[in-house]
Every structure is written in structure tokens, then in C-alpha cells.
Amino acid sequence: MAGHGARSRSGGRPTLEEVAARAGVGRGTVSRVINGSPRVSDATRAAVEAAVAELGYVPNTAARALAANRTDAIALVVPEPETRFFAEPYFSDMLRGVGAALSDTRMQLLLIFAGSDRERQRLAQYLAAHRVDGVLLVSVHADDPLPDMLGQLEIPAVISGPRSAAETLTSVDSDNYGGARQAVEHLIGRGRRTIAHITGRLDVYGAQRRTDGYRDALRDAGHEADELLIEAGDFTEEGGRRAMAALLERRPDLDAVFAASDVTAAGARHALREAGRRIPDDVALVGYDDSVIARHMDPPLTSVRQPIEEMGRRMIDLLLAEVADRRPSASRELDRRQVVLATELVERASS
């Protein structure tokens, strides 16, 4: 067995072909393993990695990227202000999942904020120069021009939740509708009858689906949704506080609240306490995300857990598969997928 750093048969630097021969696979398979493609079995990947280690093969990264018209870089694009990114655990959990999935590849991750028109224009120029191999889009609003721009540039892209039921890009999301139903059914099961809902931003499809789940769960239990019990929020703490205050003014008899995010629920909690309402004695409270906020609230928050880190990992797997697919964009569209991951209700003392 050759030691680490062994020379090739010709006495020079080990080649890709020699790695393939040592591993007993084709040259293309070795290339896919080195490029981090998910389209390789675990056994094959292990054989190739062992051959790389035995021969001491070191890829010529610059030459490989140039020949393949690749940059070995992925952009995580967040069309939100930086303040929201750092304030909400959803984004850090997503980033953690993406980073873990990329750790075994040679891809570099670029974090790009595009919350303003100026930032979007700068991003468009950057992407038009093809400085990244693919893009992950997180927190996409219905009217966001970025997805269509990526399609025009023929840059592989995966988004964290579809913009609508007719989404054309590959997406990964949690079951927003099912998660909301779980939350409301739980509250009904606890004997709550006047259940309010603070929505997320309703230009986000996931927030729309959570509201749909809320309405349908009430209807199926024989409780028609009262529109006076629904108040628009924006996924922020201050938005949750304002929405809760408005709901209490309109319907002081409410006995439960389903908030579209844990951050929103934290704001609602402040408003409830300011109004002298005890949680859960007077008003039960349920959030969404099962973030660190839920565990550290007083009382600890019942919340719908969506597998955010797993969503990040799945987004990377799908994006790398698209990057490795050299077919024309029109052919790749046939394989685009809408992945929906299951949610779970985590019961705590707030309900």
C-alpha cells in the first residue's frame, strides 16, 4: 500500500486517473466525489477517499474550476435586513445546517444580504459575472425579483420555501399547514374555544399556509374562524406585541393564541403580561419554530418544531446536484422538486 504523499507511477504528482484505478472506479466518479456531488454511494465515496489518501492526490483547484467553468462557491442570499437575520434564530439554525452540509466539500459559502434595492442591484451585478456556482435563497417574499433573475442567468438555485403553489424553482420547506393544524388542534384539545392567530408576513407563502392550517383546524372542529381573531404580524417581536394588543382590544374574551413564530410569541407574551393576563391560566400561547427562544421563555413556550437545520442540509444536497448537472436549464427544470419536511408539536408549560 502506498503511503501518504506517494508519487505516481511516472514519478510525478498523482493523477486523477491513478486515483480512479486505485479505487476501481471511473474518472468521472472520482471527479464527482472531489466536487462534493451527492450522487455517489457511501461505499464508492469511501473507496475514492481512501485512494486519494493513499496516493496523496491533491486536486489542482484552480485548473479544475477553470476547466469546469466553476468557482467552487455557493451564495446564501437573504433578502432581509441584517438586523432581522441576527435577531431571529431561524436564520442561524439554517446557516448551521448549510455549513454542516458543506463541511465535507470544497465549496466556499458566501453570505449575502439583499434587503434593499441597492443591495439587490449590487447582487445582480455580482451574480451576472458568474462568481458563484449556485444560490440558496432564504426567506423569499412573493414579489421578490431574485428567483426570476436567477432563472434568467441560468444559475442553479434552491429556495427555503416556495413563493406559491406554482413554484418553478427547487424548494425545501417544512409542513407549514400541518404544523399550524397541530398547534390549533392542541389548543382545542386543551379546552380553548376562542383561539386567536397572529400571522407572519402574508407575502410569504409559508405564513399563508400557517393561516390556512389555523382556519381549517377550527372549521373541522366545528369552530368557524372569526376574522376578528386574526391579526397580521411580521415575524418580529414588536409586531407580535402590537398584534396582541390589537387582538385584546377587539376580543378581550380570547383564551388562546397561535403565533406564527417564536419571536412573534415573545412579543405577544409581553402584551399579555402588560394586560394582566396569566399564561397559560388566562391565555394559552403556542409559537412556531421551536427555537432557543421557546425553551427560555417564562413559562417555556409550546411550539411547532420545524427541522430548520435539516432543511439547510437538504437544500445543499439538492443545490449540489443541480450544480453537477451540466444539462441545459430547460432540461433541468423537469427534475426540480418541492421537498416538504414533517413538523412536530413540542408541548411546554405555556399551553
Strand order of the β-sheet with 344-346 is 230-231, 195-198, 256-259, 284-289, 302-305, 344-346
Q: 126, 110, 173, 120: which is closest to 145 by C-alpha?
A: 120
Mean pLDDT, residues 213-242 taken together: 95
Mean pLDDT, residues 148-164 taken together: 88
Mean pLDDT, residues 83-94 taken together: 88
| Exposure on the CB side of residue 162, measured as CA atoms within 13 A | 16
Which pLDDT band holds residue 82 (cuts at 50, 70, 90)? confident
pLDDT cut 70: percent of the chain above it = 90
Virtual CA dihedral for 247, 250, 255, 257, nearest 10 degrees?
Answer: -20
Annotate 254-286 with b (16+ C-beta within 10 A) or e (fewer). bbbbbbbbbbbbbbbbebbeeeebebbeebbbb
**pLDDT, the chain, mean:** 88
Cell 411580521 locates to 234
Q: Is the pLDDT of residue 141 over 90?
A: no
The confidence score (pLDDT) of residue 144 equals 84
3-state secondary structure at position 125 = helix
CA distance 108 to 122: 20
Q: Is residue 262 within 8 Å of 290, Cβ to Cβ?
A: yes
The confidence score (pLDDT) of residue 57 equals 79
Q: Is residue 80 within 8 Å of 119, Cβ to Cβ?
A: no
Burial of 299 (0-12, 13-18, 19+ CB in 10 A): middle
| Exposure on the CB side of residue 73, measured as CA atoms within 13 A | 13
Q: Is residue 147 within 8 Å of 156, Cβ to Cβ?
A: no
What one-letter code names the amino acid at 346?
V
Q: Is the pLDDT of residue 60 over 70?
A: no
| DSSP letter (8 states) at residue 335 | G
Lowest pLDDT segment from 91-95, 199-203, 326-330: 326-330
The confidence score (pLDDT) of residue 120 equals 85
The confidence score (pLDDT) of residue 12 equals 63
The confidence score (pLDDT) of residue 151 equals 81
More confident residue, 177 or 104: 177
CA distance 60 to 87: 40
The confidence score (pLDDT) of residue 39 equals 77
Cα-Cα-Cα-Cα dihedral sign, residues 243, 244, 247, 248: negative
Lowest pLDDT segment from 81-85, 130-134, 250-254, 338-342: 81-85
Which pLDDT band holds residue 336 (cuts at 50, 70, 90)? low
Question: What's the length of the chain?
Answer: 351
Mean pLDDT, residues 136-158 taken together: 87
Lowest pLDDT segment from 135-149, 281-295, 305-319: 135-149
Which pLDDT band holds residue 331 (cuts at 50, 70, 90)? low
Q: 155, 115, 117: which is closest to 135 by C-alpha?
A: 155
Q: Is the pLDDT of residue 315 over 90?
A: yes
